[in-house]
Amino acid sequence: MFQPTFCGSLRATRPLSSLIAVAFLAVSACGGPQAAVAAKEPQIQLSGRHADAKLDKAGEGDRYVLVQRGAWLHAQPGEGGVRARDAAFRLVQRDPGAVVSYRLVEDKGEWLAIESLPETDMKRHCVRPESALTGIALRLFVHRADVLDVVSRGVRMIYSDGTSVALAAGVAVGNAEHVYGAHSPPLWPLAVDGLRMRTTLPGGATGLSYQAGSHFDTSPSGAWMAPTARLIFANGEPVVVSDTAARLHVYDKHIKPRGQLVTLRTRCGEYVMLAPHDAMVEGSDEEAGVVSGSGARKGCWRAKDGAKFFWPDGSEAGKAVGGATMGALQTGEPDATRLCFEHPLRLYWPPGTTPTPDANLPLCADRASLESLCDKPAAAPTQPKRP
């Protein structure tokens, strides 16, 4: 049974030195270890089934939402007209591990106006933007029901067994479940940086949107958890490592009879977990099996920075940000004044899936704002330097 202590006022935007210090052996007045916080911020400890925690104030600025993969994306609000969806995902459940981040433009009730994010925004979010749209600030509409709840402000939960979870704003949240009975505190399924878990959350910690902020420091520590390690927190809840390439560096450890309490950190979370004694490995980042990389779509046309895009009916759809390589040419000769393309919603398709026509958005642009990539002469070979 969960018996958490909620400690608010732990700002994800603070320097990390004030976020990560955890006093494992200190015992609070409500039965759990306390988190060390900066002196300027009062420590708020509340326990019980209906406890709330003081959370960070939401600042001014853009707000963002997480849209379920597989949701229909519409050119205009309403069921008719241009729309597309990522058919590799089915909307059978609200899965926090299958979402995409968008900027919230306007809340229209049943419909939300959203905008795709540029590649330069990727590091500001816990959930990656749609990779195939990162070169386009594309205005779209989505059903409110297809937007998942999100951790809207930084929060930390501390449990009586010495484990804890700290989350930055922007972590996707699934539907709450009363796992231990109707009168037990609800558990919220989370997916963050390749980890899946269920945890309690204080009242007011989730919402429709969030404001992007800074994240946790994940500098290499020289030790990491084995991808198959069995991690436990919150008096028995397991943690599933869904991404074996996740950076699970160990920043602190305390030996316990049942194992060791280890402090792990990803970009959007810090976790004190119970792990077996033999679960930690020491070495370099390369040995940890950390992989990285990105792919680029192959196409013959690239939109110049700032180029305007239009829907087939002539209404404005968005603009290029940083240059966008377009999908397959749909209509128009290469010398036409306006060209239209079938622009896909994803760069790669999972094994066993097949691209479908409804996974493309029809986008048009003026020929003058496009650059041809396939009819350029080959670059002259570089002449070797004379000795």
Give the integer Cα–Cα distance in Å for 362 and 354: 19
Q: Are residues 271 and 335 in the same domain?
A: no
**CA 310 to chain CA mean position, Å:** 28
Domain count, the chain: 2
| pTM strictly above 0.85 | no
**Amino acid identity for residue 194 in this structure:** G
Class of residue 143 by CB neighbours under 10 A (exposed 0-12, middle 13-18, buried 19+): middle
- 116 in a structural domain: no
> What pLDDT is recorded for position 112?
96
Q: Judge contact between 55 and 204, C-beta under 8 A.
A: yes
Q: Are residues 207 and 332 in the same domain?
A: no
- 81 in a structural domain: no
State the chain's mean pLDDT as an integer.
74
Q: Are residues 160 and 270 in the same domain?
A: yes
What would the DSSP string read from start to end of 230-258?
-EEETTTEEEEE--TT---EEEEEEEETT
Q: Are residues 242 and 348 in the same domain?
A: no
Residues of the chain with pLDDT under 70: 1-60, 90-92, 243-247, 283-299, 331-335, 350, 352-353, 375-387
In which domain, by residue range, is 359 found? Answer: 304-372
Q: Are residues 12 and 51 in the same domain?
A: yes
Q: Are residues 260 and 337 in the same domain?
A: no
Give the integer Cα–Cα distance in Å for 74 and 65: 16
Q: Judge contact between 5 and 31, C-beta under 8 A.
A: yes
> What pLDDT is recorded for position 43?
27
> Edge-to-edge strands of the sheet including 301-303?
324-325, 301-303, 370-372
> What pLDDT is recorded for position 271?
92
DSSP 307: -
Q: Are residues 252 and 346 in the same domain?
A: no
- 70 in a structural domain: no
> What pLDDT is recorded for position 245?
56
Q: Are residues 308 and 259 in the same domain?
A: no
How many degrees, rounded to 5, is the angle at CA 78 between CA 73 and CA 83?
Answer: 30
Distances 64 to 126, 138, 193, 203, 349 between C-alpha atoms, Å:
11, 14, 18, 20, 26
Q: Are residues 31 and 164 in the same domain?
A: yes
